[in-house]
Chains A and B, each alone.
Chain A
């Protein structure tokens, strides 16, 4: 009677589909021809994770930096090592594009980049391959973060100053570090532009590996698995920032599989419906023991979800002063521990600031930011929270700002700040804190946006469509998993490269 963990359709409650009628008309056939000839947006259905189809829709090409039009093995040790790991994973790996008519993914290893000019050759080589990139293909850069520049909302990482190699360089020829920093940040602008040129549901993302962390660190490989797969379908033009070597050694040989959260006790707030429900379902499908939390008033859908997942519901208001203590008590009583929490519960009370009243402003801050802060603080007061993985829900509104959402944007930007500062606190106890910032996601809430505005909002990203709650859930599941053990303090956007506030 029990559904197989891989029966995604039944476990996730619905087949991944949207009510985006325009997308279904233009994604194929005559509709697509008409849209293309008129210069209209021509989105296609994205490639999403399916355990029965290959993780990548074709061969994987690994290119290195500064080695001319064809990358010769041996000239770039990081590229060689990455290629080897991908080969071990069973991919068809190539080191040059000659003769390849179809490419599933291009991994561009730029860790050795010391001056921006070195980007020309691999960039142009990639350019020559883009027409061969399969629908749903991937371009992924692996590079080092520039010092002093936040990457897509990411907190700055220890770089040149902490890097012994850079220290020598700085001692010998101080200006080399400046050249290198320009080159490193150049990769960011390059990748984000590549992402905007992708077609056919293909995406381009990067991994920034902190100086001192191996280019083949577990979370680089785990991040590569995530970005190559359909699990990152709506992540586009973004960077995963790997700040440590933490993570399981097993990632050297194989991805983490279908149930990376096996037996993990993970709390999801606001789980009764919408994105929260999808998060709970996906975490359950990935093996977690989910503790779905929602306000008592949402008890009926919360009960239905809990019973479908075979777990115990926890009806409580996250703004209650003792919410964190009660969550902790529940987890300790039922499971003897807590491994993660997804602060998903959130509300909007939109008004132009000139018309804003105190209750609208305060209630949004109370639910979206103050509750996660208070709950996390209460959880961390207990040793049972050692190793805790915290995931907050930010929003592209919190990064770029949004008219009529001063309260909401403040609350969501607050989450970006929260996870950045939590990261070092949790690092001492073996945990991580990250946030996911969704863009336009097809939910009950966005379905209420007037038709014309909704159609525009959907198209304002590189993938020209809204994301699904599942896409947000996939990013969260990744950040909760051991594959992301080396990623902390970061905010990952799941927005299809929203053109606003990139």
Chain B
């Protein structure tokens, strides 16, 4: 089923190249599963291969050679060093399709989208896949530093005597395995504790957080019920729907949960398991292409990847919150494209925690923050909440770290296209995803009514 090798010379290789548009033409993901659930014994490679195969089936491109597949996982075993290429080899794509592993924590899917879109825009490739995958269930467990050093020395030892010498250094305590940490290496604080500081700093209420969470579940449930995900999700391992989804949850029910983060702060703790994302397993992928490639393959141009921006904040020595980088990235992106927040029809802000969304929105409404931190004379302003996360977000769907970016891109692209057609005008969307290390990626997408 391999596609024929084709090398087409440029009509005029010396002419300056024009940037082309990169379009989202399809998306696919596995249903997301809470860690320890149906995908507990599934590797990230199996999951990413499934996401790819679903995407290939959806679009009918089995056996095609694509320019590149970019993906990645935050939690990756050392043996999966070539995770994406290995997944491609196990998929229905032409084995001559290259794979690229990318890692930018929870923004991995956003970065892979940007990478593939830019390759297309620069004329390096005509079509490619961006994606991400993570398994909190099948996370790598590594040996302790003591044992690791002994094993390396043992490996170098030539004589039995040297080998014994190396082994003699082993202490019982060295045998304890080390689980992957979610704590920031430079502060020792978990992401939740970091966000609790930011939540307190901005005075975000428990009620406001629980409202965000309830909306997320209700919006996602409505999307599932309407068949919105029929062409965005392919069942996997017997799971047909995101199993973190609680359609019948409510602000009242969420209000009954005990706080889990910020319990040692002076302010009342507000962050619970209900308004924080659970550890999740899952994979997602999108197909990006030029308009010509999409037309040749009779695939729709759902949305154009207009632009992207990544920011990082100094949460270690500075006084910015760990997950606040999108608050900086989005205004830069909007300004570069001559847009205001109010020009954006749909906004997706990844719900790492409900309060992440709320602190970012609060910062944009705050004149001081916008002047001092962003250098803006006027605040970014208020976001019309009816434009926010209209098809649900991570609190309901779950958050397999690297898979979230392309879940959001696929969902938003389909929604933008539907609205562009219904309203017969171009419709613009903004995505914001925060990430460990004080990073944040944002992207601008636009759909048009024409097919």
Instruction: Choose one: A303, A316, A334; the contact of B57 (CB below 8 Å).
Output: A303
Residue of B with least CB distance to A335 = B298
Of A297, A304, A315, A335, the contact of B231 (CB 8 Å cutoff): A315
Min CB gap A493→B, angstroms:
34
Which residue of A299, A306, A310 contacts B233 across the interface (Cβ within 8 Å)? Answer: A299
- Confirm or deny: A120 has a beta carbon within 8 angstroms of a beta carbon on chain B: no
Minimum Cβ distance to chain B for residue A305 (Å) = 8
Contact A299 B60 (CB under 8 A): no
A198 located at the interface, meaning its Cβ lies under 8 Å from any Cβ of chain B in the complex: no
Instruction: Describe A's contact surface by its main secondary structure.
Output: helix
B426 at the interface (CB under 8 A from A): no
B240, CB-defined interface residue at 8 Å = yes
Which B residues are CB-close (under 8 A) to A298?
235
* Interface of chain A residues 34 through 48 with chain B (CB within 8 A): none
Q: Is the CB of B57 within 8 A of A296?
A: no
Could you tell me the distance in whole angstroms from the C-beta of B128 to the nearest C-beta in chain A? 18
B439 within 8 A of A: no
0/1 string, B44-59, CB within 8 A of A gives 1: 0000001001101111
Residue from A2, A296, A317 within 8 A of B240 (CB atoms) = A296
CB distance from B399 to the nearest CB of A (A): 22
- CB neighbours of A297 from chain B (8 A): 235, 240
CB pair B234–A300 under 8 Å, yes or no, is yes
Q: Is the CB of B56 within 8 A of A307?
A: yes
Residues of B within 8 A of A53 (CB): none
**A1-22 interface code vs B (CB 8 A; 1 in, 0 out):** 1100000000000000000000
Q: Are B234 and A310 in contact (CB under 8 A)?
A: no
Residue of A with least CB distance to B238: A300
A432 at the interface (CB under 8 A from B): no
Which residues of chain A from 314 to 338 have a CB within 8 Å of any chain B CB? Answer: 315-317, 320, 333-335
What residues on A are CB-neighbors of B231 within 8 Å? 315
Q: Which of A271-298 contact B (CB under 8 A)?
A: 296-298
| Listed residue (A1, A307, A309, A335) with the most chain B CB atoms within 10 angstroms of its CB | A307
Point out the residues of chain A lying under 8 angstroms from B229, CB to CB.
296
- Categorize the interface residue count of chain A: 20 to 34
Given A296-B230, A297-B240, A304-B53, A333 and B60 touching (CB < 8 A)? Answer: no
- Is there contact, CB below 8 Å, between A312 and B236? no
B60 pairs with A303, CB closer than 8 A: no
Contacts of B60 in A (CB 8 A): 306, 310-313, 334
B63 touches A (CB below 8 Å): yes
Interface centre among B57, B60, B92 (most CB of A within 10 A): B57
Distance between Cα atoms of A333 and B58 in the complex (Å): 13
Are A303 and B53 also in contact (CB < 8 A) when A296-B235, A310-B62, A312-B60 are?
Answer: yes
**B57–A313 touching, CB < 8 Å:** yes
- The answer, yes or no, to whether B42 is at the interface (CB within 8 Å) is no
Please, which residues of chain A bring their CB within 8 A of the CB of B50?
A: 300
Question: Bound complex: CA of A310 vs CA of B62, how far in Å?
Answer: 5
Contact B58 A310 (CB under 8 A): no
Docked CA distance A21–B275 (Å): 58
- Cα–Cα, bound, A316→B227 (Å): 9
Q: Distance (Å) between the CB of A498 and the closest chain B CB?
A: 35
| A500 CA / B11 CA spacing, docked (Å) | 71
Question: Quick check: A1 and B235 within 8 Å, CB to CB?
Answer: no
- Pair A308/B62 contact, Cβ less than 8 Å: yes
- Report B-chain residues with C-beta under 8 Å of the C-beta of A305: 57
| CA A305 to CA B92, docked complex, whole Å | 11
Please report the C-alpha to C-alpha distance between residue A306 and residue B58 in the assembled complex, in whole angstroms.
8
Asked whether A300 lies within 8 Å of B235 as measured between CB atoms, the reply is yes
Assembled-state Cα–Cα distance A320/B230 (Å) = 12
Chain A residues positioned under 8 Å from B233 (CB to CB): 296, 299
Is the pair A333, B240 in contact by a Cβ cutoff of 8 Å?
Answer: no
B140 within 8 A of A: no
List chain A residues, Cβ under 8 A from B2.
Answer: 1
Q: Assess the B230–A334 pair: CB atoms within 8 A.
A: no
- Interface pairs (15), CB distance under 8 Å: A2-B1, A297-B235, A299-B54, A299-B233, A299-B235, A302-B57, A303-B57, A303-B58, A307-B57, A307-B62, A312-B60, A316-B227, A316-B230, A333-B298, A333-B300
| 16 extra interface residue pairs, beta carbon distance < 8 Å, beyond A300-B234, A334-B298 | A2-B1, A296-B229, A299-B233, A302-B57, A303-B56, A303-B58, A304-B57, A305-B57, A306-B57, A307-B56, A307-B57, A309-B62, A310-B1, A310-B62, A315-B234, A320-B227
